[in-house]
Amino acid sequence: MTSPTDRLSATPTLPPATRQAPSASPEEGKPAGSRRQARTLGRLRAVGLPVVVVALLAYLPYVAVDLPGILPGRVNGPGSMQLLATCLVIGGVALSYDVLFGRTGLLSFGHALFVAAGSYLLTISLAEWSLPLPLALVTALALSTALALVVGAVALRVGGIAFAMVTLAFAQAASIIVLRNPGGVTGGEEGRTLDRDAVPDLLVGVANAPYRYWLALAFVVVTWVVVSLVVRSRAGHAMAAVRENAQRAAVLGFGTYRVRLLAFVLGSFLGSLGGIVHALVLGGSNPHLTTSEFTLSLLVMVVLGGAGHRWGAVLGGVLYTFADARLVEVSGAPFLQSLPDVVRQLLSQPLFILGAFFVVVVYFAPSGLTGIGGRLVRRTGSR
Per DSSP, helices labelled H in 156-291 are 161-180, 209-232, 234-244, 246-251, 256-282
The CA-atom distances, in angstroms, between 107 and each of 159, 166, 226, 303 are 9, 11, 21, 12
DSSP three-state, residue 179? helix
Q: Report whether 191 contacts 119 (CB < 8 A).
A: no
Q: Is residue 272 part of a domain?
A: yes
Per DSSP, helices labelled H in 26-132 are 32-59, 78-104, 111-127
Q: How far apart are CA 154 and CA 156, in angstroms?
A: 6
pLDDT (tens digit, 9 = 90+) per residue, 170-220?
999 999 999 999 988 999 998 999 998 899 989 988 889 999 999 999 999
Q: Return the pLDDT at 45.
A: 62
Q: Report whether 123 contacts 297 (CB < 8 A).
A: no
Ranges of the chain whose pLDDT falls below 70: 1-47, 330-339, 343-344, 347-348, 373-383
Partners of 193 in the β-ladder: 284
Q: Report whether 83 contacts 116 (CB < 8 A).
A: no
Q: Return the pLDDT at 39.
A: 64
Residue 61 burial (CB count, 10 A): 19
Q: Is residue 345 part of a domain?
A: no
Q: How far apart are CA 91 and CA 321, in angstroms?
A: 8
Q: Report whether 126 contacts 348 (CB < 8 A).
A: no
Long-range contacts of 241-246 (CB under 8 A, 24+ apart): 242/104, 242/105, 243/103, 243/104, 243/105, 244/105, 246/105, 246/159
Residue 284 domain boundaries: 73-291
Residue 210: partners with Cβ closer than 8 Å, 6 or more residues away: 61, 76, 81
pLDDT (tens digit, 9 = 90+) per residue, 98-135?
999 999 999 999 999 999 999 999 999 999 999 999 99
Q: Return the pLDDT at 355.
A: 80
Q: Is residue 4 part of a domain?
A: no
Element at 297 (helix H, strand E): helix 292-305
Residue whose C-alpha is closest to residue 271's, from 211, 214, 317: 317
Q: Return the pLDDT at 266.
A: 96
Q: Return the pLDDT at 30.
A: 52
Element at 26 (helix H, strand E): none
Q: Is residue 230 part of a domain?
A: yes
Q: Is residue 231 part of a domain?
A: yes
Q: Is residue 211 part of a domain?
A: yes
Q: How far apart are CA 359 and CA 170, in angstroms?
A: 29
Q: Return the pLDDT at 15.
A: 43
Q: How far apart are CA 365 and CA 34, in angstroms?
A: 35
- Output the CA torsion 132→138→143→149 (10° steps): 180
Q: Specify the DSSP class assigned to residue 165.
A: H
**Number of domains, the chain:** 1
Q: Is residue 342 part of a domain?
A: no
HSE, CB side, 13 Å, CA atoms: give it for residue 97.
35
Q: Is residue 59 part of a domain?
A: no
